[in-house]
Amino acid sequence: MLNSPDANVRAMRALCDEISAAIARRDLPVERVTDLKRAVDETRMRLWASMEAAKSDDPAWVQEFWLHRAAEVCQSMVEHLERGELDRGSPRAGALRAIAARLATSLASPPG
């Protein structure tokens, strides 16, 4: 049985803190962290689908939420790059540069 929404959020945050600490201490094998990431990704996708369904009558809300999340991810990438935590020479970085340029062009252009 679920607790109150606030209690569930607090419990989830506490669990995330415990997991982060275990990862930092290297107490979790890489395989377990990979499994955990898959479970978190699946949970995130299920929550996103539930939120979309709940707001299906308000497409503007869904759009704004999606755009907000994308901006958060991009901001996080910029911060990691500026701190030198990501390799700009990585092949994936090259792919990201290409898609980021395409994204910027698409955002600046009128639809159609």
Q: Judge whether residue 39 has pLDDT over 70.
A: yes
Entry pTM: 0.62
The contacts of residue 2 (CB under 8 Å, 6+ apart) are 8
More confident residue, 28 or 3: 28
CA distance 76 to 18: 22
Give per-residue pLDDT as tens, 47-66.
888 888 887 788 888 888 88
CA distance 20 to 9: 16
> What are the start-end ranges of the H helices in 27-58?
30-54
- The mean pLDDT value for 20-40 works out to 87
